[in-house]
């Protein structure tokens, strides 16, 4: 997608020297994007319309809202700028201010009747599923998480998972709106290793139920509990599934999607044996400032938490790489290490004493060992990106397959 958020397309085409000397009506757009109040005033006094737009239909108000130029926003509104003008991508100035996190400008625009189609979108009918289409009669409880129960139900004759958000959580309007925003984003995602979001049920206020595809084999957590250690080829195939799903999320445009809560419980398996990642983005709502939920030892999220998250420092995509390494470690080992230790204490030791799980050579092939050490590196910027992890895993997979064929052939010769 084109990045249209920052500057008018006309301004982008100008050389720096031309920008400074630019005269003519479009100077209004340039000055608005640069916070040049005197310049904006000059243009308006000359009679340039406050609603002048470039050929992407970006107005001075879009640009000022996007760039955080509060004074210009106020001035343009006073001079009759249309608070809800839509650009070529269907965005209003409020959409731009929200995306750039200019909270003061959002308040000003909202007070003037500004709306954000991207949020309205979260309630658009295409996301909404009529509750009467869901057959709850034969429902089966599949599991229970931090937010509520998960049921197997039928929707239009197809088995799907219905995930409920407890009313104690969903009755908070801000929390509910944030869930809806995350669903809007999730609904747009399509990848073989990402659980498919299907829609939100029309429910009375305070309740929230959403549908996703149903994955018959349950979570990786359940699989490891049942099967214990996985053989190297299976573990690497599973690691590749997770890495491909995560790479898709991290490469999302215009912003990477960071999972923040990648754990074996949030990795599900379908009947064909393929793993898919689920519940990304939701953890920051429930665990974040919107809702004072604290991750418990029970849900186990601390066990996979990157040191910088535990230390409450700023973080990026590599927090998911850290969690990924611990999941891969478990697949080779058959479960978490230091099972008896409180997850929070474990996270503390990882964050402050640089403690990491043991990697015995008898269990971990050398290239897996070095991959895990890189992925849980204490310096977040040293951890590899998922696209590189995929390449390394593919090489490891080829090598393991060659060895497996070799072993098989020597059996046949014998
Ligand atoms: N789409 C699905 N298909 C099949 N089973 C599912 C699906 N979604 C969830 N489950 C099952 O329900 C359980 C509970 O899921 P849920 O996402 O609510 O919580 P969790 O991931 O286990 O924990 P937390 O809420 O702390 O992340 C999962 O562990 C899984 O076994």
What is the number of other CB atoms lying within 10 angstroms of the CB of residue 326?
24
pLDDT of residue 299: 43
Q: Which ligand 1 atom is nearest residue 298's CA?
A: 26
Nearest alpha-carbon partner for 193 in 146, 145, 250: 250
- Residue 198: phi and psi, rounded to 5, are -110, -35
How far CA 118 is from CA of 58, 83, 95, 206, in Å, comes to 17, 15, 7, 22
Instruction: Name the closest-CA residue to atom 15, ligand 1.
Output: 145
Please spell the DSSP secondary structure of 56-103, one letter per residue. Answer: T--BHHHHHHHHT-HHHHHHHHHTT--TT---TTS--HHHHHHHTT-H
> Annotated binding residue at 163?
yes
Among protein residues, the one with the nearest Cα to ligand 1's atom 23 is 145
261 assigned to active site: yes
Distance of CA 108 to the CA centre of its chain: 28
**Ligand 1 atom 11, closest CA:** 143
ipTM of the complex: 0.96
Rounded percentage of the chain residues whose pLDDT exceeds 90: 61
Higher per-residue confidence, 126 vs 406: 406
Q: Ligand 1 centroid vs 150 CA: distance in angstroms? A: 7
Please report which confidence band the pLDDT of residue 313 belongs to, taking 50, 70 and 90 as the band edges. Answer: confident
Instruction: Enumerate residues lining ligand 1, CB below 6 A.
Output: 142-147, 150, 161, 163, 195, 212, 214-215, 218-219, 222, 265-266, 268, 279, 299
Cα dist. 110→75, 83, 92 in Å?
15, 9, 11
pLDDT digits (tens, 9 = 90+) for 341-390: 899 999 999 999 999 999 999 999 999 999 999 999 999 999 999 999 99
Report d(CA 350, CA 346) in Å as an integer.
6
Kindly give the distance from the C-alpha atom of residue 221 to the centroid of ligand 1, in angstroms, as a whole number.
10
Model confidence pLDDT, tens digit, residues 188-230 = 899 999 999 999 998 777 779 999 999 999 999 999 999 999 9
- Once rounded to an integer, what is the mean pLDDT over residues 90-118? 88
In terms of C-beta distances under 8 Å and separation of at least 24 residues, what long-range contacts does 254-258 make, across chains too? 254/1, 254/3, 254/5, 254/99, 256/316, 256/317, 257/185, 257/189, 257/281, 258/315, 258/316, 258/317, 258/319, 258/320
Catalytic residue among 261, 290, 320, 374: 261
- pLDDT (tens digit per residue) in 236-286: 999 999 999 999 999 998 788 899 899 999 999 999 999 999 987 665 554
């Amino acid at each position: 997608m084109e990045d249209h958020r920052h500057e008018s397309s006309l301004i982008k085409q100008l050389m720096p020297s031309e920008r400074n000397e630019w005269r003519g009506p479009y100077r209004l757009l340039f000055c608005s994007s640069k916070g040049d109040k005197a310049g904006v005033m000059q243009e308006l006094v000359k009679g340039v319309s406050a609603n002048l737009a470039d050929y992407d239909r970006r107005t001075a108000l879009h640009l000022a809202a996007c760039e955080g130029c509060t004074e210009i926003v106020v001035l343009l509104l006073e001079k009759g700028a249309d608070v809800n003008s839509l650009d070529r991508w269907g965005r209003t100035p409020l959409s731009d201010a929200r995306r750039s996190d200019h909270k003061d400008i959002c308040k000003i625009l909202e007070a003037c009747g500004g709306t954000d189609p991207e949020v309205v979108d979260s309630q658009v009918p295409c996301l909404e599923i009529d509750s009467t289409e869901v057959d709850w009669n034969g429902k089966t409880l599949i599991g229970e998480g931090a937010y509520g129960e998960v049921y197997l139900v039928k929707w239009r004759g197809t088995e799907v998972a219905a995930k409920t958000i407890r009313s104690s959580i969903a009755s908070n309007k801000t929390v509910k709106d944030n869930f809806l925003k995350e669903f809007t984003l999730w609904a747009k995602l399509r990848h073989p290793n990402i659980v498919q979001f299907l829609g939100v049920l029309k429910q009375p206020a305070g309740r929230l139920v959403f549908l996703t595809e149903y994955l018959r084999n349950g979570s990786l957590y359940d699989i490891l509990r049942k099967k214990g250690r996985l053989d190297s080829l299976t573990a690497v195939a599973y690691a590749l599934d997770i890495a491909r799903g995560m790479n898709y999320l991290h490469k999302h445009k215009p912003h990477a999607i960071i999972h923040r809560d990648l754990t074996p419980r949030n990795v599900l398996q379908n009947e064909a044996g393929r793993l898919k990642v689920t519940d990304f983005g939701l953890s920051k709502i429930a665990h974040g400032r919107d809702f004072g939920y604290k991750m418990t030892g029970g849900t186990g999220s601390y066990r996979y938490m990157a040191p910088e998250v535990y230390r409450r420092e700023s973080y990026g995509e590599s927090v998911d790489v850290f969690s990924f390494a611990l999941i891969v470690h478990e697949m080779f080992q058959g479960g978490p290490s230091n099972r008896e230790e409180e997850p929070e204490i474990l996270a503390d030791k990882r964050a402050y004493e640089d403690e990491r799980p043991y990697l015995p050579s008898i269990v971990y092939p050398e290239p897996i060992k070095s991959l895990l050490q890189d992925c849980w590196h204490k310096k977040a910027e040293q951890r590899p990106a998922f696209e590189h992890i995929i390449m390394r895993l593919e090489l490891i997979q080829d090598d393991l397959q060659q060895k497996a064929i070799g072993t098989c052939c020597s059996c046949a010769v014998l």
